[in-house]
Amino acid sequence: MISLLVLATALAAAPVTAAPAEATPADALFIDGANAALRRVWVRSSSADWVRQTNITGDTEFLAAELNADALATLSGLTRQSLRFDTVRASSPAVARQLQLLRNPSVLAAGLPVVSPTDPAKQAELAAISARLDGMYGKGKWCGADGKQKCRDLGELEEVMASSRNWDALLDAWAGWHTISREMRPLYARLVELANEGARGLGWKDTGELWRAGYDMPAADFEADTDRLWGEVKPFYDQLHCYVRAELQKRYGKERVPDRKPIPAHLLGNMWAQSWDNLYADLEPFKGQPSQDVTGALVAQQWDAKRMVKLGEGFFSSLGFEPLPASFWERSQFVKPRDREVVCHASAWDVTFAADLRIKMCIKPNEEDLVTVHHELGHNYYQRAYAGLPILFQNGANDGFHEAIGDAIALSITPGYLKQVGLLTELPRDDKGLIDVQLKRALAKVAFLPFAKLVDQWRWDVFSGKVPPARYNQAWWALREKYQGVAPPVARSEADFDPGAKYHIPANVPYTRYFLAAIYQFQFHKSLCEAAGWKGPLHQCSIYGSKAAGKKLNDMLKLGMSKPWPEAYAVLTGSRKADAKALLEYFAPLRAWLAKQTAGRACGW
Q: For the segment 458-489, what is each residue's pLDDT rounded down to a tens digit?
A: 999 999 999 999 999 999 999 999 999 999 99
Q: Which of 61, 125, 341, 376 is catalytic?
A: 376
What is the predicted pLDDT for the residue at 116? Answer: 79
Q: Which long-range contacts (CB under 8 A, 24 or more apart) does 584-589 make?
A: 584/232, 584/233, 584/236, 585/522, 585/526, 585/538, 586/411, 586/522, 586/525, 586/526, 586/538, 586/539, 587/236, 587/438, 587/441, 587/442, 587/446, 587/539, 589/431, 589/434, 589/435, 589/438, 589/537, 589/539
What is the predicted pLDDT for the residue at 7? Answer: 34
DSSP string, 450-464: HHHHHHHHHHHHHHH
| 3-state helix, strand and coil shares in percent for the chain, rounded to the nearest 5 | 60, 5, 35
CA distances from 566 to 105, 402, 562, 569 (A): 20, 14, 12, 5
CA atoms of 482 and 54, how far apart (whole Å): 37
Q: Is 376 a catalytic residue?
A: yes
Q: Is 504 a catalytic residue?
A: yes
What is the predicted pLDDT for the residue at 317? Answer: 98
Q: Which of 175, 346, 487, 588 is catalytic?
A: 346
On whether the CB atoms of residues 353 and 42 are closer than 8 A, the answer is: yes
Q: Which of 12, 96, 284, 345 is catalytic?
A: 345
Q: Is 178 a catalytic residue?
A: no
Q: Is 379 a catalytic residue?
A: yes
- If phi > 0 it is left, if psi is from -120 to 50 it is alpha, else beta; for residue 421 that is alpha
Q: Is 374 a catalytic residue?
A: no
Q: Which of 504, 507, 530, 602 is catalytic?
A: 504
Q: Is 514 a catalytic residue?
A: yes
Q: Which of 379, 402, 525, 539 is catalytic?
A: 379
Q: Which of 472, 514, 544, 586 is catalytic?
A: 514
Q: Is 266 a catalytic residue?
A: no
Q: Which of 367, 403, 472, 539 is catalytic?
A: 403
Could you list the mean pLDDT of each consecutive 10-residue stretch along the chain, which spans 605 residues? 34 35 76 96 95 94 89 85 88 94 81 78 90 92 88 94 96 97 97 94 92 92 95 98 97 96 98 96 85 89 97 97 97 95 93 97 94 95 97 95 92 92 86 91 96 98 98 98 98 97 93 95 98 96 97 98 96 96 98 96 93
Q: Is 280 a catalytic residue?
A: no
On whether the CB atoms of residues 162 and 270 are closer than 8 A, the answer is: yes
